[in-house]
A and B are shown apart, each in its own frame.
Chain A
Amino acid sequence: MSSTAAAGAIDHHHDSTTVTGIPNKKLLMWAFLASDCMFFGCLISTHLIYRLHPPPGTPNARDVFSIELTSFSTFILLMSSLMMALAVNSIQKGNLKSLRWSLLTTILFGLIFLGCQVYEFRNFVFEKHLTITNSILGTTFFTLTGTHGLHVLIGVIWLTIMLLYSFTGRLTEKDAIDVESMGLYWHFVDIVWIVIFTAVYLLEYI
């Protein structure tokens, strides 16, 4: 154990017990996120390629999309990122009460985002008649945004488990790295949406 840890103070960003000085859990998460970048990069490229040369009969995306709803979803996800950052800040200071409120708010924002996405998908399928099988636009759009939505859902489940775990009394300041790793995942979901919002939605309005 390092002298830092022995003294009771916790250095949340560096871990002298590993060769890199970075906690293994954090390193694992960064490696995973780097690989996930490539995964989403391919999905976004596929969507953009088919938008470059839309086959005849492809519906006009501007007639299908609702920019107001998507902007609201984007705002909600950005605010959830703020609450996640505050949650990490709270556990690093050992403030469990603040951590719980921050986690709860993040979960609520995540659920609102998912609710908006479900509403959007229902609207597209039943009102605009855009399905995953009836056009290239539908196929690439639903695959991309659906995969992102799945990531958000996994994040919400992870956050809920962490929130419940905080009530067991076993989550302390020393476990801050667990919350931080979860936070990295949640922020990644946010940055992917930042790219999707511009590349998939806003570019259609130019």
Chain B
Amino acid sequence: MSAPATHAPASGHELEQSKFWIFVQLAMLLAVITGLELVTVYLPFMKWILVGALVVLSTVKFMFVIFYFMHLRWDKAFCTILFFIGLVLAGGTMWALLKLFGAEASKPLTLSSPAAIVRTVA
């Protein structure tokens, strides 16, 4: 958390100056990570490794943006808590829906297999 500017004006000015370079360096880093994501999808690895790598890379980008560009790093913790409540609810809903609809029993029945429909209904 940053100290009020009145108590340390010099350090406050330095913080503002350093923020500029932090933002510029961060933008470059985000561009590099985006490039890495692009390369990742063409790598000849197992699917779960690639999906995991993409999730990690996009999470890193996400966190950098919210903590630096959105100032959560320098703001009161309450802002972080408030935002993460929404984020956790959204993530939980996504996880639950994907689990539910990813189950074998959730596969939609097609008219191309009437025998399967009869078995399921029975």
Contacts and interface: CB of A to CB of B under 8 A. Distances in A.
Contact of A37 (B89, B107, B108): B89
B65 A187 contact: yes
B98 interface: yes
B37 A21 contact: no
A194 B41 CA distance: 15
Contacts, number: 161
Contacts of A82: 23-24, 26-27, 69
Given A30-B79, A78-B30, A191-B62, A45 B98 contact: yes
Contacts of B120: none
A112 B64 CA distance: 23
B34 A78 contact: yes
A161 interface: no
Given A22-B78, A67-B38, A53 B106 contact: yes
Nearest to B103: A52
Interface size for chain A: under 10, 10 to 19, 20 to 34, or 35 or more residues?
A: 35 or more
Interface string A56-91: 100000000001000100110011011011101100
A52 B19 contact: no
A14 B4 contact: yes
B16 A22 contact: no
A194 B58 contact: yes
10 contacts: A3-B6, A4-B6, A9-B12, A22-B76, A41-B90, A74-B34, A81-B27, A85-B68, A180-B71, A203-B51
Given A14-B76, A34-B86, A93-B16, A41 B91 contact: yes
B101 A191 contact: no
Contacts of B121: none
A27 B82 contact: yes
A198 B58 contact: yes
A69 to B, nearest CB: 12
Contact of A75 (B31, B82, B89): B31
B117 interface: no
Given A14-B76, A55-B108, A203-B51, 15 more contacts: A11-B4, A13-B75, A22-B78, A34-B83, A36-B86, A53-B106, A75-B31, A89-B19, A93-B16, A187-B69, A188-B70, A191-B65, A202-B37, A202-B40, A206-B50
A79 B93 CA distance: 31
A52 B19 CA distance: 43
A89 B20 contact: yes
A67 B82 CA distance: 34
B78 A20 contact: yes
A49 interface: yes
B41 A205 contact: yes
Nearest to B79: A30
A176 to B, nearest CB: 11
Given A33-B86, A89-B23, A187 B78 contact: no
B1 to A, nearest CB: 8
Interface string B31-62: 10010011011100001001100110110011
